[in-house]
Amino acid sequence: MRYIVCIKQVPETTDVKINPATNTLMRDGVVSIINPFDMYAIEEGLRLKALHGGTVTVLSMGPPQAETALREAIAMGADDGILVSDRAFAGSDTWATSYTLAMAIRKIGNYDLIICGKQASDGDTAQVGPGIAVHLDLPQITYVRKIETLDDKNIVAERLMENGYEVIQSPLPCVLTVVKEINEPRLPSLKGKMAAKKALIPTWKAADLNCDPKCLGLDGSPTKVVKIFTPAPRKGGQIFQGEPEEFIPQLVAKMKDAILGAAQ
């Protein structure tokens, strides 16, 4: 079995602060981490490897510093990492990103399962996993909360829906996107950290992928950002404290119309 886990390096959003003078995100000194949902994808790859054998390859597309994220995944136990990085990829939206990753996966070859996090915490689109599936003409199971069975030919997994879950069977190879409920990511081991230090991580450029240059970066991206702005910060409102007997009727009276309006 070969598991390919796609990961993205994102800013640790807890640290995202808005510069009040310029009203922009302050990214200086913001720590970069592996996208939280991708941690569950890595863990699931490692868990499946422990149960069924095989290798776990982590793949990331991003700037050169995204190599750190791949090393972190190797420290957790992934066998190897590949970075896909080229200025030709700048300006990629989810169409071009999923195309580029799909071409890299094709180059890796011999894969059985491609595992992605449900979505990235910076873009929140949840489009790249299904995009990879379509570019490779593969079935997909999104929002996976549990893998029930896996054998040489098939996977049975539970997909989290808004009102319950579905049990889905798919032939391999298949693309999964996973939610938090699926597992508890492990911490890196000492042995893993050593391996991560020593690991050779190849960087694949556009020329290394058998791809159509028109489908990369800006040219391969149908969407275009025309404006970026910070929403007006929400202001704190009225604070009630003291004896609940006094302020609760007051608050409830204020809320009554809103509640009745919302109930319609």
Site for other proteins in 152-171 (CB under 8 A): 156, 159-171
CA atoms of 239 and 164, how far apart (whole Å):
38
**Of the residues 24, 50, 197, 207, which one makes contact with other proteins according to CB under 8 A:** 24
**Of the residues 53, 152, 200, 229, which one makes contact with other proteins according to CB under 8 A:** 229
Residue 144, amino acid: V
CA atoms of 98 and 127, how far apart (whole Å):
8
How much is the CA Rg of the chain, to the nearest whole Å? 22
Restricted to residues 233-262, the positions that interact with other proteins (CB under 8 A) are 234, 236-242, 244-245, 247-249, 251-256, 258-262
Restricted to residues 97-136, the positions that interact with other proteins (CB under 8 A) are 98-99, 121-127, 129-131, 133-135
The least distance separating other proteins from the CB of residue 234, rounded to whole angstroms, comes to: 5
- SS3 category, 216: coil
Residue 262 CB neighbours (<10 A): 8
Pairing of strands 203-204, 154-161: unpaired
Nearer to other proteins, 49 or 118 (CB): 118
Q: How many CA atoms lie within 13 A of 21 on its CB side?
A: 1
Nearer to other proteins, 155 or 195 (CB): 155
Q: How far is CA 163 from the centre of its chain?
A: 23
Restricted to residues 43-62, the positions that interact with other proteins (CB under 8 A) are none
CA dihedral of residues 51, 53, 54, 58 (deg, nearest 10) = 30
Question: What x-and-dash track marks residues 131-150 binding other proteins by CB under 8 A?
Answer: x-xxx---xxxxx-x-----
Nearer to other proteins, 70 or 126 (CB): 126
> Should residue 31 be labelled a site residue for other proteins when binding is judged by CB under 8 A?
no
Count residues binding other proteins (CB under 8 A). 103
> Should residue 87 be labelled a site residue for other proteins when binding is judged by CB under 8 A?
yes
